[in-house]
Amino acid sequence: MKGYLRRFAMLSAFLLTFTTFSCGKDKVEEINDSQEQSESGITPAKTDLTVAVTSWDGTDFTDLQHNVNYDLKIIDYRTEENGENCFEHLTMDILSGKCPDIVAASPESMEKLARGNYLADLYQLMNKAEKDSFLANVLEGLEREGRLPSICTGFDLFTAAAKTKNVSAYGENWSYNDAFEAFYNMPEDCDFLYQCYTESDIDNYFMKRTVRDAVNIGTGSCDLTGFADVLSRTSKLPYFENRLNWLAGDFQSIGTDMGYALINDKALVDEIVINGINSSTAFQLCSDFGGADITFVGYPSDKGTGYYAVPHNMLGIMGSSFSKEAAWSFLSDNFFSSAFQKNASLHFEGIPVI
């Protein structure tokens, strides 16, 4: 009888240990188990998570692992053999059934996964407090038909500024007509863009929002209404050929040092990249405009969206993962950790999303 009881106790202990690795276990039970194991001196088992990496700026992805409760298996597709086809190799593995839990990829690659409905809806995994901690317009910008397929660690904000006195009638986020009208009210020897080296620079400025407004990523459609009209109007803007003399070292080619063009109203608009919470952008604006009051006119758009953002590192959770809750718990632990927040701008650059 004693031998039977001993075998029963050993079998029970084995089953209890095995259940810590099973899928779909209630989160509250996991927390209670961890507390009981800590109190009894037993080290809690780590949760296994597989992370596929096809793109990651800054430090290595393993630097995200600040929580000792997870055991990460990193599959790095960025090999010399894969070259630029690292995402295609990940796609083939997914189609063959080799599904990771977490994917770290470029915005373009993550968009492909989202369109194929391969990614879980992160809104279904995060609680209200977590959702409210993110910048609302960041989450909205990453949504696809009400779902949140992925998030980013940070982003760069691209916009443009002008002296307030020159654009006071138009304000922020101006339209195409506003931009053209403001320019034609400037002195005749004024250029549209500060540090404009080629005619295509002007076209690019006007096309930044035109192209983005024309493309609907969610539906994969494109509406080019007005596109040709904008190009036709930009082609009529004056461009100073002797700008090339400045590149050769002739700083007096347009009647003033090009470095003072904005200060002396020899240029109207200055393109700006805000890539973090730091003083570099403020220093640039103060230097370029000589401390004058400025307005962020942005890029011309009839939709009132004068800027655009480019996300850095994108993170998503595969919809077919058996550990979606654990995967989000891992990402959440890192996003909200003081270590991650402290180093986000240093390692990943960009404006933090929390």
How far is residue 86's CA from residue 107's CA, in Å, rounded to a whole number? 14
CA dihedral 126, 131, 135, 138 (to 10 degrees): 50
313-325 pLDDT, tens digit per residue, is 899 999 999 999 9
Residue 298's Cα: distance from chain center in Å? 19
Residue 150 tokens, joined: 């992925």
How far is residue 281's CA from residue 269's CA, in Å, rounded to a whole number? 15
Backbone torsions φ then ψ of 339, nearest 5 degrees:
-65, -45
Residue 216 tokens, joined: 């609907």
pTM over 0.85: no
3-state helix, strand, coil split of the chain in percent (to 5) is: 45, 20, 40
Q: Kindly report the CA angle at 301 between 181 and 176, in degrees rounded to 5?
A: 20
Q: Are 251 and 258 contacting, i.e. CB atoms less than 8 angstroms apart?
A: yes
pLDDT at 102: 95
**Concatenated DSSP letters for 25-90?**
--HHHHHHHHHHHHHHTPPPPPEEEEEEES---SS-GGGG---TTEEEEEEE---TTTGGGHHHHH
Segments of the chain scoring below 70 in pLDDT: 1-44, 57-68, 197, 217-218, 239-258, 278, 341-349
Query: Which residues are CB-contacts of 256 (< 8 A; sequence separation ≥ 6)?
Result: 264, 266
> For the chain, how many residues are written?
354
pLDDT at 304: 80
Question: Helix (H, G, I), strand (E, B), or coil: what is residue 154?
Answer: strand
